[in-house]
Amino acid sequence: MDESEYRDLYHSVNQLRCCFEKAMLTRRFGCAKLLKINIADREAAACADKDAQAECNILLGLLRKNAAFALKTASTHNALPHAKEIKAQCGGIIGLAQALNTDESEPPTGVKDIHACIQQAVQTYGSLQQLPYAEIVKTITHFEGRKKRNRRS
């Protein structure tokens, strides 16, 4: 299957794409609304709830906007390059979890249920716009993805 065929099939079977798909595929994160889709030898992440997906989309937009300077990017409306998107998604959710659980001494390395975390954040802070983005952006900045593999011939 070539890349354009894969992309066409992906969009036809994944109608409600998970906004945090890159984070989900790292296996550090989970969500009660997650639907995993296998296409050939690849995995995709979909959302089971349109309203939850819309809320996640708003959060991801706010994470990108607030972290634009830290990620050294000008445009926050489109998807970021892969490494920066991983930082925004993974670091953003971990930062949100830290903001909700300030009494934990060890910062989390993942989150079991992103949807529940977002719901708790809305209850705690009133809305997604009122989250402590200054603290969350610090976590985004310090987040490190996988180390590059040493590819030897």
Compare 148 and 25 and report the one with higher pLDDT. Answer: 25
Compare 41 and 20 and report the one with higher pLDDT. Answer: 20
CA-closest candidate to residue 22, choices 145, 139, 148: 145
What was the pLDDT predicted at 109? 82
Q: Where are the domains of the chain?
A: 3-142
Residue 115, Cβ density class (10 Å: 0-12 exposed, 13-18 middle, ≥19 buried): buried
What was the pLDDT predicted at 153? 55
What was the pLDDT predicted at 7? 76
pTM, 2 dp: 0.86
Per-residue pLDDT tens digits for 57-89: 999 999 999 999 988 887 666 678 889 999 999
What is the residue-averaged pLDDT of the chain?
88
Residue 6, Cβ density class (10 Å: 0-12 exposed, 13-18 middle, ≥19 buried): middle
